[in-house]
Chain A
Amino acid sequence: MSNTKKYWKGLEDLNDNPEIIKKAQREFAEEVPVDQFLSSKSLDETSTPRRDFLKFLGFTVTAASLAACEAPVRKVIPYVVKPEDVTPSVGTWYATTYFDGNDFANILVKSREGRPIKIEGNKLSVVSKGGTNARVQASVLSLYDSARLANPTIKGANSTWDAVDKEITSKLTAIAGKNGNIRLLTSTIISPSTKQIIAEFIAKYPTAKHVTYDAVSYYGIQKANELSFGKSVIPTYNFDKANVIVSLDADFLATWLAPIEFSAQYVKNRKVSKEKREMSRHIQIEANLTVTGSNADMRIPAKPSQIANAALSLYKALGGSVSAKALPFDAKIASIAKELQENKGKSLVIAGSNDPSVQVVVNAINNLLGNYGTTIDLDNYTTTRQGNDAEVVALTEQMKKGEVAALFMWNVNPVYTTPSTSGFAAGLKKVELSVSFADRADETASLAQYVCPDNHYLESWGDASARVNQHSLIQPLIYPLFNTRSAQESLLKWSGSAITNYQDYVKAYWEKNMFPLQLAESNFANFWQKALHNGVMELAPVAAATLTFAADVNAAASKIAESTAKVGAWEITLNQKTAMGNGNQGNNPWLLEMPDPISRVTWDNYITMSPSEVEKLGFNTQLGLDEKADVIEISVNGRTIKAPVLAQPGQAAGTIGIALGYGRTAVGKAGNNVGANAYELVSVEDGAIKYNNYNVTVGTTSLDKYFLCSTQSHHTLMGRDMVKETSLAEYKKDTKAGNVRPTFEVKEGHDHVKKTPSELDLWASKETPGFDRPGHFWGMAIDLNSCIGCGACVVSCQSENNIPVVGKDEIRKTRDMYWIRIDRYYSSAMTEEVAEKEGKGVIDMYNAMEKPEDQPQVVFQPVMCMHCNHAPCETVCPVIATTHSNEGLNQMTYNRCVGTKYCANNCPYKVRRFNWFKYHDNAQFDYHQNDTVGKMVLNPDVTVRSRGVMEKCSMCIQRIQEGKLNAKKDGRRVNDGEIQTACSQSCPTNAIVFGDMNDKNSNVASLKADDRMYYMLEELNTQPSVFYMTKVRNTENKEA
């Protein structure tokens, strides 16, 4: 009961006397006689002696400093009114779509307290199939990039949207009035609603034209398909339907076209099991060693000019009537042709070249093999690359002549992605009205008059159609962090459209165009909800149309012959790094630091050269703490760049490679001046942008020394069996092939029996069979046959577990902080058998083993904490900071750790990572954890580790806990697959499987029982919870 009694001070109070009310509002009812006090004579007479003054001073200073000593108070303010969708500490997942003009993925984004913090794949998507890659994973950090523009700018000065709109509209009207050319230069746009907006814009300003420019172009394929089948499109490929895959320099597992989609397809046919002892055969002909080439069963190193000719040779070997140059690997081509012929309609030949002639030949090969309609689908084509190189070149020419009056640039950065000789920058100066939608004042935007920053995709509405039969929605996860506006909205404003809100526009567009395409929902509101919820909308595939191959292969052959007639001593292939792609996320510290899957070099690009040739030229072949690489100059047609040389096993002799996407100058503090800009070396030939060159000048003198830093300085297995592998032929005979597990002879009764170390237990006997594990027993299987080494798990883990970026110098000191790493080993020509045969001593043998072969076989091995059940780290910690859970996990208690680092020394797998510095709130590490905006990406479920403590993989304990709690709430056991670690969830090939080994029906339990299962360093009897599955190569024998 609330107290309703009222007490009053007197009758005046009771009667609400106005005087009383007035007084009651004052702090002091009566006037305080301040004046009287201050004017008092006695005040003048008092004096403050020196001693008193010093006392007062001392007291005040002490009091003030004591007050200042108090630790800063950080307030956590609860919601006054809780938003409907937000429960503090519970994440919410929203479906949206990632497309940056390069990678496409349907994704789910985790939002915590209104902040998007983690990206995972959307399993409903038929295109990306729940996969992501490192670049998609890292894109959440690009949202929180403080280098983004916070306002629209006019000539570099901050402005307002009103001012910008006013000026641009008036200038546009003026230009349209005098029939000036208006050009819209964008990267590929796959949003149907945006296409309509552009159409509206063009309708309003009829002199406008839309030009599509992809920094890394696939125009050659479009052109070839136009010539071959009259369809200027890029087909959809089905690697899962191919038994034989021949790739001519196409890095389809990491960077070529749609690697997320292709990896999932590819691995489907690569997985083997007792029941399915078959796998596809993959042949790669390439110059640079790529992720794809590393996974190939047969890899033929070749020069780019030879690869172009190899297409012709293959066509000829398959019975095509064409003249082909003799190649050193013609015998291999013949055998490839034989394999292909045996798999007609079940094979796939692709080429990475952007040369339309090469692509025409490849089309002819696939046509001969009858692959159209099976492994290649031209009807349900891919729309993610529409760049038209010819138009871009024409536009640049027009600009240089001053014929373009207005230029709008959206998601393109031609000043960076074209060579300095292209004249784009000079042409841009002649444009009367130049507008960029870039999110930062990048190389191009800083030259434009107006920058109207577009929202980040996680702040935007939108839609996307990656294929003709698949549509997806983009929805915002957060209100724009800065004063930015979606480019669509800007265009709508300037077109004077009726709807200027892009969200409404998309909705209206879908109501009109997408809603009628389906029958499941009859009500648009329901349809819209469902589409937003699922993020994707699949349609029935378009029926196959009959194709007639109409291209002139001989014309293409003569073009190839002409272009490869004059080849220099050196040839170059410009590739992309798995982390950096085309360089559009150039300021993303996660991607900058991510080790390259092949070289494991971070924070740089470099010239790759065959080790024997590096040695011949007298350059440094080593990478290490104190070893600097030699910087040389390379030039193509007089255009020159300088970069350090890296000895790269697998590089074809006579070729060099360098990655695009580096050398940015205006991207932000992390990415500026990292590496060299290899776009300087691209050229235009036959109307298409060319990323390789048959004549490159390579400097033979070292101009400078430069530190390249790598997370792995030793590249061979040294005859050890961390990675076990076998050939398919062996595996067919014996599913235990290649998996020799260490055994010890023990006496049981009167018999001597052989037991593996994990069957032995010092403490267990027949009477006391040791610790039985009730409840959960978490385990992880890593299939080395499925792991393609792409590194998506590395960035996913970094994002999930708040792993700091430590910078180049720390990496060089072997202080990377990754909880999961992907070890990459090259084969060595020296083995114990060879040493025995050659009569070599052990010292010579080990020295020789350190050297990888010039053309090695490559293996990838993801390594994280093995969660040993007999953990060497646990026994040596003096303060019990690392302990074992009863669910089989090795746990790290950060605030108990004092940092003796003995655990790390005693870890045979070397997975422990020490916080050498305070990596957050430390100006020395000026990356996202030291930036107020960047910090928003941190996962609140995972402690940000302080200086001086050890850390390591926790098997995503926060996710396990969440899954267990969800199951507990529902009163059931955790379902298999319900809990996913960050690495297992983001793996595009499902190489990492996590689950409860006590659940007999779980995937991980069945894998544990498989014959390919082995533990790393099993002889140490650490009894890990993480185990591996042997790698199987589709080769006839072990050597091949």
Chain B
Amino acid sequence: MQQESPLRKALILGDKSLHDITEDVCRPIEGKASKAWKIAFTVSAAALLWWVICISITVGEGIGMWGINNSIDWGWDITNFVWWVGIGHAGTLISAVLLLFRQKWRLSINRAAEAMTIFAVICAATFLLSHIGRPWLPYWLFPFANQFGSLWVNFNSPLVWDTFAVSTYFTVSLVFWYTGLIPDFAVIRDRAVARGDKARKFWYSLLSFGWVGSAKNWQRFEEVSLVLAGMSTPLVLSVHTIVSMDFATSVVPGWHTTIFPPYFVAGAIFSGFAMVQTLLIITRKVLNLQEYITIYHIDMMNRIIMITGSIVGVAYITEFFIAWYSGVEYESYAFINRATGPYWWAYWAMMTCNVITPQLFWSKKLRVNIAATFIISIFVNIGMWFERFVIIVTSLHRAYIPSEWAMYSPTWVEVGIYLGSIGLFFTLYLLFVKFFPVIAMSELKTIVKSSSSQAKKKGAHHHE
């Protein structure tokens, strides 16, 4: 059992009893969908449909439907890929790293954050699949037994590392997330049995894998969680390190930078937490979970945003310094061009959103202000998108040979796929909040201070 410190503030508010938690978490699942949910789902599904249309055009006609060209071969596609993968990082960090560090406050948010990770990686994967010239052949990037002559992968290529990194990350995250869900599914199943809801009983019986809540069950659950947390932790670092190597191992000025791995990881956590903020601020409001996801949580996450944002800012400045210090004319031009060339607006959008806005969180007032947090989290999301755009497009558009310098602007198909991927993400997220417990209730119950305090209160009352 948990040690209760009278000095520590409760992590969840409202004097919740264990039963209250079950009721609060299960309510959205067992009740009818709210109007807000229905509207949001319709909008997301419409965006998803748009995504289907744009992807079909791309697969049907060719990636010539996009704006990328022979000088700038990657554009919004890889920008979006890196952006989505980066967003995913917060979930893993919260559930794995914070678990290992025994940060109990994570328990209110880890489920939603992990769900976000998985959906973000799905979105990222769609860009990996659709950006290739022959999207029916992505499996060639895996080393598999085949009879295509000597078809094998090139282990020198960072794209192969990337294939492994992203697929491993997705698999481990999915298993980790699902493992955590099992006891909660069993709760919903049991409640369905009690109410005689046969359909729900059927589905949640399947999902809960026959969980009975025995001591053996719990012991294994704890062990698996710990093992998976141990496996996920290096992945937090490795995935974005490898994604950064897609650029760092090249010869392109502006890409060929050894600072990329730590800089990308920090950036990923930065953007991931911003996305968690964006989502949870809405979720807690819509699902009435303010007492579970408290200002304390928001404050904590804002601190992480502030720290990682500062790391990213230092990285930007370091890059500039090294470009000048190296004396390589191509490198220094690449950075001057970033800040003053045709894409200066993207660079300054990135600098404003990523370096300046998170510094506002030095103020406690803003850290605990929900509206301010929401706005800044949106800024960070935008800024981190621009960071990837700046790295990819402005480095490519003016590389070594001036005669091949070019410009790039996306077509409506590319924009459609990006907006559509947000639709895909929110469709999945909305289905998640409707059918899955948004808060890891079984685990959360372990930290409820209030149940005992309620009992104490009762006891005190009795004495009187």
Q: Which residues of B contact A909 (CB under 8 A)?
A: 400-401
Contact assessment for A898 and B132 in the assembled complex, using a CB-CB cutoff below 8 Å: yes
Contact assessment for B407 and A846 in the assembled complex, using a CB-CB cutoff below 8 Å: no
- Residues from 407 to 424 in B contacting A, C-beta threshold 8 Å: 407-409
The distance from the CB of A460 to the nearest CB of chain B, in whole angstroms, is 40
A674 within 8 A of B: no
Contact assessment for B61 and A910 in the assembled complex, using a CB-CB cutoff below 8 Å: no
Q: Which residue of A lies closest to B333 (CB)?
A: A846
A699 within 8 A of B: no
B20 within 8 A of A: no
B251 within 8 A of A: yes
A875 within 8 A of B: yes
Q: Which residues of B contact A814 (CB under 8 A)?
A: 69-72, 406-407
Contact assessment for A875 and B134 in the assembled complex, using a CB-CB cutoff below 8 Å: no
Q: Which residue of B lies closest to A950 (CB)?
A: B133
What is the bound-complex CA distance between A912 and B72, given in angstroms?
11
Interface of A is mostly: loop
Known: A842-B332, A846-B336, A877-B157. A899 touches B141 (CB 8 A): no
Q: Which of B63, B131, B153, B398 contacts A916 (CB 8 A)?
A: B63
Binds A, one of B8-16, B158-166, B268-276, B433-441: B158-166
A550 within 8 A of B: no
Contact assessment for A908 and B401 in the assembled complex, using a CB-CB cutoff below 8 Å: yes
Q: Which residues of B contact A915 (CB under 8 A)?
A: 62, 133
Contact assessment for B73 and A901 in the assembled complex, using a CB-CB cutoff below 8 Å: yes
Q: Which residues of A contact B154 (CB under 8 A)?
A: 875, 877-880
- Residues from 18 to 72 in B contacting A, C-beta threshold 8 Å: 61-64, 67-72
What is the bound-complex CA distance between A900 and B407, given in angstroms?
20
Q: Which residues of B contact A899 (CB under 8 A)?
A: 63, 132-134
The distance from the CB of B69 to the nearest CB of chain A, in whole angstroms, is 4
What is the bound-complex CA distance between A714 and B409, given in angstroms?
17
Binds B, one of A18-26, A223-231, A344-352, A718-726: A718-726
B359 within 8 A of A: no
What is the bound-complex CA distance between A101 and B396, given in angstroms?
46
- Residues from 329 to 357 in B contacting A, C-beta threshold 8 Å: 329-330, 332-333, 336-337, 340
Q: Mark A897-928, 1 if CB is under 8 A from B, else 0.
A: 11111101110111011111110000000000
Interface of B is mostly: loop
B140 within 8 A of A: yes
Contact assessment for A948 and B336 in the assembled complex, using a CB-CB cutoff below 8 Å: no
Known: A875-B157, A948-B134. A815 touches B402 (CB 8 A): no
Q: Which of A624, A715, A823, A880 contacts B407 (CB 8 A)?
A: A624
Q: Count A interface residues, CB 8 Å.
A: 61
What is the bound-complex CA distance between A913 and B133, given in angstroms?
12
B137 within 8 A of A: yes
Q: Which of A713, A714, A861, A901 contacts B133 (CB 8 A)?
A: A901
What is the bound-complex CA distance between A906 and B72, given in angstroms?
10
What is the bound-complex CA distance between A847 and B342, given in angstroms?
11
B74 within 8 A of A: yes
Contact assessment for B159 and A720 in the assembled complex, using a CB-CB cutoff below 8 Å: no
A1017 within 8 A of B: yes
A195 within 8 A of B: no
B403 within 8 A of A: yes
Q: Which residues of A contact B70 (CB under 8 A)?
A: 814-816, 904, 910, 912-914
Q: Which residues of B contact A917 (CB under 8 A)?
A: 61-62, 64
B311 within 8 A of A: no
- Residues from 255 to 289 in B contacting A, C-beta threshold 8 Å: none
What is the bound-complex CA distance between A575 and B432, given in angstroms?
69
What is the bound-complex CA distance between A624 and B138, given in angstroms?
34
Most chain B beta carbons < 10 A, residue from A823, A876, A905, A909: A905
What is the bound-complex CA distance between A634 and B151, given in angstroms?
61
Q: Mark A804-826, 1 if CB is under 8 A from B, else 0.
A: 00000010011110000101110
B404 within 8 A of A: yes
Most chain B beta carbons < 10 A, residue from A714, A722, A913, A1020: A714
Most chain B beta carbons < 10 A, residue from A872, A876, A950, A1020: A876
Q: Which residue of B lies closest to A806 (CB)?
A: B64
Q: Which of B140, B160, B333, B396 contacts A905 (CB 8 A)?
A: B396
Q: Which of B157, B336, B337, B399 contacts A902 (CB 8 A)?
A: B157
What is the bound-complex CA distance between A913 and B158, given in angstroms?
21
Q: Which of A717, A823, A906, A950 contacts B252 (CB 8 A)?
A: A906
What is the bound-complex CA distance between A861 and B402, given in angstroms?
12
Known: A815-B69, A877-B157, A899-B132. A905 touches B400 (CB 8 A): no
Contact assessment for B250 and A879 in the assembled complex, using a CB-CB cutoff below 8 Å: no
Contact assessment for B71 and A898 in the assembled complex, using a CB-CB cutoff below 8 Å: no
A863 within 8 A of B: yes
What is the bound-complex CA distance between A910 and B63, given in angstroms?
19
A625 within 8 A of B: yes
- Residues from 620 to 659 in A contacting B, C-beta threshold 8 Å: 624-626
Known: A712-B403, A825-B403, A879-B154. A947 touches B73 (CB 8 A): no
A843 within 8 A of B: yes
Q: Which residue of A lies closest to B141 (CB)?
A: A878
Q: Which residues of B contact A949 (CB under 8 A)?
A: 133-134
B156 within 8 A of A: yes
A132 within 8 A of B: no
Q: Mark A679-721, 1 if CB is under 8 A from B, else 0.
A: 0000000000000000000000000000000001111111110
Contact assessment for B140 and A914 in the assembled complex, using a CB-CB cutoff below 8 Å: no
Q: Mark A242-256, 1 if CB is under 8 A from B, else 0.
A: 000000000000000
Q: Which residues of A contact B132 (CB under 8 A)?
A: 898-901, 948
What is the bound-complex CA distance between A625 and B397, given in angstroms?
12
Contact assessment for B133 and A906 in the assembled complex, using a CB-CB cutoff below 8 Å: no
Q: Which residue of A lies closest to B253 (CB)?
A: A908
Q: Which residues of B contact A905 (CB under 8 A)?
A: 73-74, 250, 252, 396
B405 within 8 A of A: yes
Contact assessment for B156 and A875 in the assembled complex, using a CB-CB cutoff below 8 Å: yes
A896 within 8 A of B: yes
Q: Which of B153, B332, B407 contacts A625 (CB 8 A)?
A: B407
Known: A720-B402, A948-B63. A876 touches B73 (CB 8 A): no
- Residues from 138 to 186 in B contacting A, C-beta threshold 8 Å: 138, 140-141, 151-154, 156-160, 163
Contact assessment for A898 and B140 in the assembled complex, using a CB-CB cutoff below 8 Å: yes
Q: Which residue of A lies closest to B152 (CB)?
A: A880
Q: Which residue of A lies closest to B161 (CB)?
A: A878
- Residues from 105 to 157 in B contacting A, C-beta threshold 8 Å: 131-135, 137-138, 140-141, 151-154, 156-157
Most chain B beta carbons < 10 A, residue from A815, A843, A906, A1020: A906
Q: Which residues of B contact A879 (CB under 8 A)?
A: 140-141, 151, 153-154
Known: A714-B405, A872-B250. A947 touches B133 (CB 8 A): yes
Contact assessment for B73 and A914 in the assembled complex, using a CB-CB cutoff below 8 Å: yes
The distance from the CB of A702 to the nearest CB of chain B, in whole angstroms, is 22
Q: Which residues of A contact B163 (CB under 8 A)?
A: 878
Contact assessment for B407 and A626 in the assembled complex, using a CB-CB cutoff below 8 Å: yes
Contact assessment for B69 and A878 in the assembled complex, using a CB-CB cutoff below 8 Å: no
The distance from the CB of B131 to the nearest CB of chain A, in whole angstroms, is 8
What is the bound-complex CA distance between A713 and B70, given in angstroms?
13
Q: Mark B74-102, 1 if CB is under 8 A from A, else 0.
A: 10000000000000000000000000000
Q: Which of B61, B63, B138, B402 contacts A718 (CB 8 A)?
A: B402
Contact assessment for A876 and B406 in the assembled complex, using a CB-CB cutoff below 8 Å: no
Contacts beyond the supplied A861-B403, A901-B68: 10 A-B pairs with Cβ under 8 Å? A625-B406, A714-B402, A717-B402, A814-B72, A879-B141, A898-B134, A898-B138, A948-B134, A949-B133, A950-B133
Mind listing 12 A-B residue pairs with CB under 8 Å? A625-B407, A714-B403, A813-B69, A843-B340, A875-B157, A898-B140, A899-B133, A899-B134, A905-B396, A908-B400, A916-B62, A947-B133
Residues on A facing B (Cβ under 8 Å)? 624-626, 712-720, 722, 810, 813-816, 821, 823-825, 842-843, 846-847, 861, 863, 872, 875-880, 896-902, 904-906, 908-910, 912-918, 947-950, 1017, 1020
Residues on B facing A (Cβ under 8 Å)? 61-64, 67-74, 131-135, 137-138, 140-141, 151-154, 156-160, 163, 246, 249-252, 329-330, 332-333, 336-337, 340, 396, 398-409
